Amino acid sequence: MSRVYNFSAGPAVLPEEVLREAADEMLDYRGTGMSVMEMSHRSKAYETIIKEAEADLRELMNIPDNYKVLFLQGGASQQFAMIPMNLMKNKVADYIVTGQWAKKAYQEACIYGKANKIASSEDKTFSYIPDCSDLPVSEDADYVYICENNTIYGTKYKTLPNTKGKPLVSDVSSCFLSEPVDVTKYGVIYGGVQKNIGPAGVVIVIIREDLITEDVLPGTPTMLKYKIHADNDSLYNTPPAYGIYICGKVFKWIKAKGGLAAMKEYNEKKAKILYDYLDESRMFKGTVRKEDRSLMNVPFVTGDEELDAKFVKEATAAGFVNLKGHRTVGGMRASIYNAMPIEGVEKLVEFMKEFEKQNTK
Ligand SMILES: *Cc1c(COP(=O)(O)O)cnc(C)c1O
């Protein structure tokens, strides 16, 4: 068996310890004689799994009691519709568009009400985060929406927008649990788990209780109502049970590593190795405004498409995989989530240095 360094943006690298533990428990989960995949979601064993997962997440993120934690399906994209359907009481919401995912969420919200694009960084291929200290937030906006870490473009909000009292809704898919957060600053925090936490399909929604009401847009399907899932502790129907079990293991892994403060320290150390090299290299360049750089997704280019392709090909052969950039940015992107070991980044940079030397006349 040989594992590669997987720099995929998602689904992405998971902690090896977690995968091993899951493998050990595959045929017989702790004396139950069955896999978690084969288990009733109403069984005692599963009840413990989902309860512990929630408790561990609450502890890690210091989630106050007036927030619900929901484990749902449909990925992050399902939330693009679920958010307006549940929260647009006045049928008005403000969106800050900093990348493809925010744009998709904005376009989806336009189906349900008046979605206003109050800021955007599309003018410069989403390579920065706009100044959000004094935006024209709509008087009657039900919420202000952001994508906090832009997976494709590699930008991250370092300061949250001034929402002028409106609830902030944030897609944190690609920065979930990468650093401490103050949950009280948000109305809703949500993310698909396949970037930093677990297997695709699960989406975690952390939502302030007063935002969960019966008063949703007419025609909202039962399965898309936050209230039904909140009232049933995420067990209204069969949840993505195995995925939640893996998420729970990752929460425990993060706790054992020292929690979110320790994650942040580790992630900063990792990202610095790569960014420092990008800043000194004469071949590779980062594509993002420095102040807005993400700790999780690092896009870079050589400025020469053929050289980019050569690099990706040789890197893959050397065991550094999924480095090809998104088609809208080109070049390369290294996603260096929580589970990417620091050695992976160190070795990638060594490889890049050698490539630069070999390919410079
Ligand atoms: C990947 C991603 C999504 C989409 O997630 P799905 O689970 O595929 O729907 C949405 N937002 C962000 C920020 C992402 O990185």
Q: How many domains does the chain have?
A: 2
From 256, 286, 312, give the residue that closes a domain.
Answer: 256
The confidence score (pLDDT) of residue 335 equals 98
The confidence score (pLDDT) of residue 1 equals 74
Whose CA is closest to atom 7 on ligand 1?
75
Q: How confident is the model at residue 117 (pLDDT cuts 50, 70, 90)?
A: very high
| Residue 226 sits in the same domain as residue 289 | no
CB neighbour list of residue 194: distance below 8 Å, 6 or more residues apart:
10, 11, 12, 75, 200, 201, 202
DSSP structural state of residue 124: G
Residue 134 reports pLDDT greater than 80:
yes
The confidence score (pLDDT) of residue 353 equals 98
From 205, 230, 256, give the residue that closes a domain.
Answer: 256
Q: Ligand 1: which of 77, 169, 294, 329 to mutate, judged by most atoms within 8 Å of the beta carbon?
A: 77
Q: Ligand 1: which of 71, 155, 173 to mutate, judged by most atoms within 8 Å of the beta carbon?
A: 173
The confidence score (pLDDT) of residue 329 equals 86
> Could you report the per-residue pLDDT of 325-342, keeping only the tens digit for each?
998 889 999 999 999 999
The confidence score (pLDDT) of residue 330 equals 92
Q: How confident is the model at residue 196 (pLDDT cuts 50, 70, 90)?
A: very high
Q: Tell me the percentage of the chain whose pLDDT exceeds 90.
A: 98
CA of 45 to the centre of ligand 1 (A): 30
| Residue 64 sits in the same domain as residue 125 | yes
State which amino acid sits at residue 209: E
The confidence score (pLDDT) of residue 328 equals 85
Tokens 């399907």 identify what position? 221
Vertex 190 angle, CA 224 and 332, to 5°: 120
Mean pLDDT of the 309-337 span: 96
Residue 54 reports pLDDT greater than 90:
yes
Its domain, for residue 87, covers 16-256
Q: Is residue 7 part of a domain?
A: no
Contact 72, 205 (CB under 8 A): yes
What residues are labeled active site? 101, 171, 195
| Residue 35 sits in the same domain as residue 92 | yes
State which amino acid sits at residue 326: H
| Residue 187 sits in the same domain as residue 224 | yes
DSSP structural state of residue 290: G
The confidence score (pLDDT) of residue 343 equals 98
Rounded CA-CA distance 119/24 in Å is 49
Q: What is the pTM of this model?
A: 0.98
CB neighbour list of residue 269: distance below 8 Å, 6 or more residues apart:
342
Q: How confident is the model at residue 239 (pLDDT cuts 50, 70, 90)?
A: very high
The confidence score (pLDDT) of residue 2 equals 86
Q: How confident is the model at residue 249 (pLDDT cuts 50, 70, 90)?
A: very high
Whose CA is closest to atom 10 on ligand 1?
76
| Residue 349 sits in the same domain as residue 285 | yes
